[in-house]
Amino acid sequence: MSNNLSELSGRKGLENNLFEALGERAKQAGTPNKEDIEALAQAFLFGEANVYGTTSFYDFLRPENKGKKVYVCNGSACLTSGKQKDLKDKLSHHFEANEIGEMCCLGRCHENAAFHVNGHNYSGEAIAHIDEIKKESYPFQENYFVGALGKQILTANFPGIDAYYKILEKALKQTPDALLAELKTAGLRGRGGAGFPIGFKLESAKNTASEQKFIVCNADEGDPGAYSDRYLLEHQIHSVLLGMIIGGYIMGANFGVLYIRAEYPESIKNAHDAIAQIKEKVFLGKNILGSGFQFDFKVISAQGAYICGEETALLSSIEGQRPEVRVRPPYPTQHGLFNKPTVVNNVETLANIPFIISEGGAAFASLGKGKSTGTKLVSLDGFFNRPGIYEVEMGTPLKLVIEELGQGFKSPVKAMHIGGPLGGLVPLSKIDSLSIDFETFAAEKFLLGHASVVCLPKYFPIIDYMEHLFQFTAHESCGKCFPCRLGSTRGHELIAGAKNDGPKIDRDLFDDLIETMEIGSLCALGGGLPLPIRNALQYFPEELNPYFKA
């Protein structure tokens, strides 16, 4: 059935898009009304149940969103900072309880106390100016440190559009095969967590015959603690756009889609502005630089669903379907958006392409360690003395990142959750054995992922953090597979019960549950949650033993 819906959605293409239409209808009240759903179902030849199923899934479309005026960040970094309760108390003096909603995550992990109002994100001490913010008279501002250790690729100074797009001119004078060879030589691997080589994706799509192909930027950076993609979209946007154009040229796509999370309103605006700039410079459109190559962009604002960070759920989302994970094969490079060949990569991966084409794959491959080539952006949260975004060569010792770049911790910390909610929970005792690369993290049974760092202070109970992770997964599950949908809910229930004077947890039963989630889940949401849970059980037994049967 979903394949049929993909075809129906594709009839109108990207310019008249069901998902965007639902977002437009929700702007006034917070959710589309019954008449809107009926009209859109008729226009797109979808069943009303299908359109309602889509609407009811997203945080910012579902009926429960009606009337919301302010949103509080409920991400992991804000949780462990301990600042959100005070923030909610202060907001309650300015908004009714039913006007306050939640978002996850606003990407303000460097200072926390984050909230969203009037289409902007605020954090830190901004709550003291809530009256001005409500009147839209408070100047929007944000500061975080940006630094690097070694070669700068993603944090390098932008030379200006004309100078930078000389790379495009160079690329279009070469064959797609020659450019693909450079990417393979570079060894560029996906920076969103999976570490899959981008060259293989582009080659697969290139070799799949179709009159229409797409390249999609997965900018639904929902990992709490990660704001590196947001940095790129707001401060290095042209590296992302140029990477997509070149990627499109290699695979034969003439359309690029930037799917950007609604929690990043400034990123969405900046993408629109940057695309307008390069259109004016004639780096988009038909016959770009006389090459015969045609390319254009579409920016789509997401509507609040962590699962859309999974590439097949993201494609279903763009099509206006409920964002459920698709069974593979077939893979998106053969049957993707509207059933056409599609390459999906995250922001940081695509942003590396211009450097590789400009300087050569060997120059990129010379950086890093083993199969982890190039550089990596690291996000440090508010527990560091100098939180911010740092670019380091792959293989840089984690200890160096913490002590030299982050300048240590502001207060005692017992663990760091690295790589998002599905990443590893790293105790301080493991810092010396890790470096910023895929291999050492995997060897120690952790996950590099986005390389985001959320700190757990000494006073924060590990059991509370485990409960938070199960609750997060239960809320964000697409619901398609039982192990994720039911397992996350049962895990949360077991922990909540043990915390609140209920029965203690049977360890064998608990181990069976997380093993079932790991083996049986369709995607990394349910399949990845067991990793930090096992880390917690392994490294913090004394703290957790009281909640388990002897």
Place of tokens 């049977």: 506
388-393/342-346 β-pairing: unpaired
Residues 449 and 508 in one domain: no
CA gap 541, 158 in Å, rounded: 49
Residues 6+ apart with CB under 8 A from 320: 5, 9, 17, 18, 19, 21, 22, 44, 46, 51, 54
Residue 148, domain member (yes or no)? no
CA gap 449, 498 in Å, rounded: 31
Residue 313, domain member (yes or no)? yes
pLDDT of residue 12: 82
CA gap 431, 429 in Å, rounded: 6
Residue 448 CB neighbours (<10 A): 28
- Averaged pLDDT for residues 176-188: 97
- Averaged pLDDT for residues 165-179: 98
- Averaged pLDDT for residues 434-444: 95
pLDDT of residue 222: 80
Number of domains within the chain = 5
Residue 484, domain member (yes or no)? yes
H/E stretch holding 76 reads helix 76-81
Residues 527 and 501 in one domain: yes
pLDDT above 90: residue 4: no
Domain span at 60: 2-65
pLDDT above 90: residue 193: no
Residue 434, domain member (yes or no)? yes
Residue 150, domain member (yes or no)? no
Residues 186 and 256 in one domain: yes
Q: State the CATH number of the domain containing residue 416.
A: 3.10.20.600
Residue 178, domain member (yes or no)? yes
Residues 123 and 239 in one domain: no
Q: State the CATH number of the domain containing residue 475.
A: 1.20.1440.230
Residues 444 and 404 in one domain: yes
Residues 161 and 239 in one domain: yes
Torsion angle of C-alpha atoms 435, 440, 442, 443, degrees rounded to 10:
-140
Average pLDDT, the chain: 94
- Averaged pLDDT for residues 191-208: 91
Residues 315 and 340 in one domain: yes
Q: How confident is the model at residue 1 (pLDDT cuts 50, 70, 90)?
A: very low
Q: State the CATH number of the domain containing residue 115.
A: 3.40.30.10
Place of tokens 């990992």: 223
CA gap 109, 123 in Å, rounded: 9
- Averaged pLDDT for residues 226-230: 94
pLDDT tens column, 236-252: 999 999 999 999 999 99
DSSP category for residue 14: T
pLDDT tens column, 32-79: 999 999 999 999 999 999 999 999 999 999 999 999 999 999 999 999
Domain boundary residue, one of 408, 424, 455: 455
Residues 311 and 208 in one domain: yes
pLDDT tens column, 312-329: 999 999 999 999 999 889
Residues 299 and 384 in one domain: no
Would you state the structure tokens that stand for residue 427, as one six-digit string? 């105790």
Residues 124 and 60 in one domain: no
Residues 230 and 357 in one domain: yes
Q: How confident is the model at residue 349 (pLDDT cuts 50, 70, 90)?
A: very high
Q: State the CATH number of the domain containing residue 29.
A: 1.10.10
pLDDT above 90: residue 186: yes
Residues 164 and 296 in one domain: yes
pLDDT of residue 139: 81
Alpha helices (runs of H) in 281-318, residue ranges in sequence order: 311-318
pLDDT tens column, 92-144: 999 999 999 998 899 999 999 999 999 899 999 999 999 999 988 888 778 89
CA gap 64, 410 in Å, rounded: 38
Residue 149, domain member (yes or no)? no
Of 420, 59, 76, which is closest to residue 223 (Cα–Cα)? 420
